[in-house]
């Protein structure tokens, strides 16, 4: 660390340490570089999975075989799900922007375990490569759906083992990231950064990290058991040997339902960052939003059974899970109302990230409310395994997490790369994306309600009109996404330099240069107030230069907090 002060004269992008060139990235333990390496991986897999999705929509353009055989369709929707869920949605915001922003937002120079952080990236890549390789080796890509339900996943002649292995490794990567974040948030907050002065994105990450630590191992053992079933026939899930397939579903959803909140909580955290910045106003109900993140994480553990209402579970259990499911609406509602209240009487500056957030609130509300239709026992039975379910989770997953990932990229783009993108084009792309999204997925609700089953490569002629509408929507959505990335890519190469704080943000990442220097801060700052105060600075960025004795300041800050 002798070169620490030298390192802070150049940005993390330009800094050259022990290793040069590509190795300077692959061996870097800097949280910012690791974040960008995740971004690279995640973008690639997002495009792979998106292409698979477009192919599925093409297949559905006409009844019967359009471009692929039914068995290919099975593999395509499985891989679309596996890649989107495990390689994009779960890691995208925490692993990319969590890694990048978490240490800066709490005033630390890095995460608690930088080497472990790099290790988790390698695990991610190993899992990703396994998932991609499983497409081409063995008896063909897995065709079980991303849920790997038994007994089919035990019997399928396709290459299920390798795909589950990939998910297993990715789960391990996710655990390591979560563990690192929990310790970082507990141990590395800057002096004066009390729990209720942390940015809400950090709260979202904290809740997420706990789910990663306390739920992912369950899917690990479940998938390991699938592999053992396939190799050795131990019988724990195989009905032929007395095993209970419903228990598999329990174990799978014990993880995978909380995982839904791994996906959405960081996205909700970013909403709470973007709104106060562009409304020029302190967030409304800071504590409620912070606590509701933990509330969602906690209730998330109690509701997994709502994925299994028609599986043959006991009636008692179905009623209990249905009731608990409705509870999730409470903390989610708290967030939505607080966000809207933040906008009320704010000096709103319309900008691309804010457009995405508004789109998010609209789309996510539809997704959330249709979730209640699925959570209610009677209506769920009518729409189970139809396009209604597919529409619901695309509205909350893609419309929630995906749209917010785009928002996040626009919001932190100037900070991460030090370049500015074309605002007008970004807003146009956003509009196209939101129109395309609704055109693509809204017909799913209608088709699902009419009885169109999911995961079929064929359909009755009466659905064709809706399917055509939806496929056209997929073209619009994809062109919007490509346009958006084109705009960002152009900005990356040719864009004008971004200033330190282009949006007037109030959290710590806007107090350091764009792009940030290697060690983020010359000196660990001292925090004297909340994260979204617009009229005065709540950070002392150079305590020693301003003649403030760090120890003394800590004491006064603590005394203030105590009072």
Least Å from the CB of residue 417 to other proteins:
24
**Nearest Cα to Cα of residue 410 among 311, 294, 516, 274:** 274
The alpha carbon of 207 is separated from its chain's Cα centroid by a whole number of angstroms, namely: 13
What is the Cα–Cα distance from 28 to 426, expressed in whole angstroms?
32
Total site size for other proteins, rule CB under 8 A: 66
What is the Cα–Cα distance from 446 to 262, expressed in whole angstroms?
29
Interaction of residue 305 with other proteins, rule CB under 8 A: yes
Segment interacting with other proteins, rule: CB under 8 A, options 72-80, 233-241, 259-267, 355-363: 233-241
What is the Cα–Cα distance from 453 to 384, expressed in whole angstroms?
9
Least Å from the CB of residue 418 to other proteins:
23
Paired tokens of 383: 């729409």
Paired tokens of 272: 């709470």
Sole binder of other proteins in the list 98, 243, 414, 516 (CB under 8 A): 243
Interaction of residue 251 with other proteins, rule CB under 8 A: yes
Interaction of residue 563 with other proteins, rule CB under 8 A: no
Interaction of residue 373 with other proteins, rule CB under 8 A: no
Between 252 and 444, whose beta carbon lies closer to other proteins?
Answer: 252
Interaction of residue 145 with other proteins, rule CB under 8 A: no
Alpha helices in 376-505 (DSSP H): 377-383, 387-393, 403-417, 423-450, 464-494
- Element of type H or E holding 526: strand 526-527
What is the Cα–Cα distance from 482 to 490, expressed in whole angstroms?
12
Interaction of residue 547 with other proteins, rule CB under 8 A: no
Between 39 and 526, whose beta carbon lies closer to other proteins?
Answer: 526
> What is the CB neighbour count within 10 angstroms for residue 67?
13
Sole binder of other proteins in the list 10, 44, 313, 327 (CB under 8 A): 313
E-strand ranges in 196-265 read: none
What is the Cα–Cα distance from 322 to 558, expressed in whole angstroms?
45
509-538: which residues touch other proteins (CB under 8 A)? 519, 522-524
**Tokens 């005065």 sit at which residue?**
536
Between 117 and 386, whose beta carbon lies closer to other proteins?
Answer: 117
Segment interacting with other proteins, rule: CB under 8 A, options 312-320, 337-345, 430-438, 478-486: 312-320
Segment interacting with other proteins, rule: CB under 8 A, options 128-136, 297-305, 442-450, 489-497: 297-305
Least Å from the CB of residue 35 to other proteins:
18
**Tokens 């626009």 sit at which residue?**
410
Paired tokens of 134: 């499983």
Contacts of 49 (CB under 8 A, 6+ apart): 79, 80, 83, 84, 87, 88
Least Å from the CB of residue 188 to other proteins:
6
Interaction of residue 236 with other proteins, rule CB under 8 A: yes
Segment interacting with other proteins, rule: CB under 8 A, options 65-73, 399-407, 490-498, 546-554: 546-554
C-alpha dihedral, 560 to 197 to 99 to 508, nearest 10°: -80
Q: Which residues pair with 526 in a beta bridge?
A: 540
Least Å from the CB of residue 214 to other proteins:
5
Segment interacting with other proteins, rule: CB under 8 A, options 56-64, 196-204, 239-247, 533-541: 239-247
314-343: which residues touch other proteins (CB under 8 A)? 314-317, 320-321
Interaction of residue 550 with other proteins, rule CB under 8 A: yes
Sole binder of other proteins in the list 139, 233, 333, 486 (CB under 8 A): 233
* Separation in Å, CA 473 to CA 443, 444, 467: 10, 11, 10
- Per CB under 8 A, residues contacting other proteins are 1-2, 4-5, 108-110, 112-113, 175, 179-180, 182-183, 186-188, 190-192, 210, 213-218, 220-222, 225, 228, 232-236, 241-244, 246-247, 250-251, 254, 301-302, 304-305, 313-317, 320-321, 519, 522-524, 544, 550-551, 554, 558
């Amino acid at each position: 660390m002798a070169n620490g002060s030298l390192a802070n004269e150049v940005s993390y992008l330009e800094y050259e340490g022990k290793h040069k060139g590509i190795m300077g990235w692959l061996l870097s333990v800097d949280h910012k570089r690791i974040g960008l390496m995740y971004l690279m991986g995640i973008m690639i897999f997002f495009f792979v999975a998106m292409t698979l999705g477009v192919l599925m929509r093409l297949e559905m353009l006409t009844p019967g075989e359009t471009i692929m055989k039914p068995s290919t369709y099975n593999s395509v929707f499985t891989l679309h799900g596996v890649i989107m869920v495990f390689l994009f949605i779960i890691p995208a915001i925490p692993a990319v922007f969590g890694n990048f922003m978490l240490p800066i937002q709490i005033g630390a120079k890095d995460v608690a375990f930088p080497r472990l952080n790099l290790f988790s990236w390698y695990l991610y890549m190993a899992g990703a490569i396994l998932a991609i390789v499983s497409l081409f080796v063995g008896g063909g890509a897995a065709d079980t759906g991303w849920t790997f339900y038994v007994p089919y996943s035990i019997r399928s002649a396709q290459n299920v083992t390798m795909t589950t292995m990939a998910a297993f490794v990715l789960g391990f990567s996710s655990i390591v990231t979560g563990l690192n974040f929990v310790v970082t948030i507990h141990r590395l907050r800057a002096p004066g950064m009390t729990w209720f002065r942390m940015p809400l994105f950090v709260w979202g990450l904290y809740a997420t990290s706990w789910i990663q630590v306390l739920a992912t191992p369950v899917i690990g053992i479940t998938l390991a058991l699938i592999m053992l079933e396939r190799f050795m026939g131990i019988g724990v899930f195989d009905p032929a040997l007395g095993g209970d397939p419903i228990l598999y579903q329990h174990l799978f959803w014990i993880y995978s339902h909380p995982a839904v909140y791994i996906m959405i909580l960081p996205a909700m955290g970013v909403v709470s960052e973007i709104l106060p910045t562009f409304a020029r106003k302190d967030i409304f109900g800071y504590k409620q939003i912070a606590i509701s993140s933990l509330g969602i994480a906690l209730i998330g553990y109690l509701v997994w059974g709502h994925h299994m209402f028609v599986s043959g579970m006991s009636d008692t259990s179905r009623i209990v899970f249905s009731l608990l499911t409705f509870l999730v609406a409470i903390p989610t509602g708290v967030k939505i109302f607080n966000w809207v209240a933040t906008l009320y009487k704010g000096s709103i500056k319309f900008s691309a990230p804010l457009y995405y957030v508004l789109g998010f609130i609209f789309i996510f509300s539809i997704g959330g409310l249709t979730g209640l239709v699925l959570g209610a026992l009677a209506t769920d039975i009518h729409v189970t395994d139809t396009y209604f379910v597919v529409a619901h989770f695309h509205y909350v997953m893609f419309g929630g997490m995906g749209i917010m990932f785009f928002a996040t990229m626009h919001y932190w783009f100037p900070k991460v790369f030090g370049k500015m993108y074309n605002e007008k084009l970004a807003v146009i792309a956003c509009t196209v994306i939101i129109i395309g999204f609704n055109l693509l997925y809204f017909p799913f609700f209608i088709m699902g309600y009419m009885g169109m089953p999911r995961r079929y490569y064929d359909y009755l002629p009466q659905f064709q009109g809706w399917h055509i509408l939806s496929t056209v929507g997929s073209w619009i959505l994809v062109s919007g996404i490509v346009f958006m990335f084109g705009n960002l890519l152009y900005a990356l190469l040719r864009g004008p330099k971004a200033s330190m704080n282009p949006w007037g943000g109030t959290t710590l990442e806007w107090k350091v240069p764009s792009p940030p220097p290697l060690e983020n801060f010359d000196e660990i700052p001292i925090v004297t107030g909340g994260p979204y105060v617009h009229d005065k600075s709540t950070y002392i960025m150079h305590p020693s230069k301003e003649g403030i004795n760090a120890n003394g300041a800590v004491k006064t800050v603590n005394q203030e907090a105590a009072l």
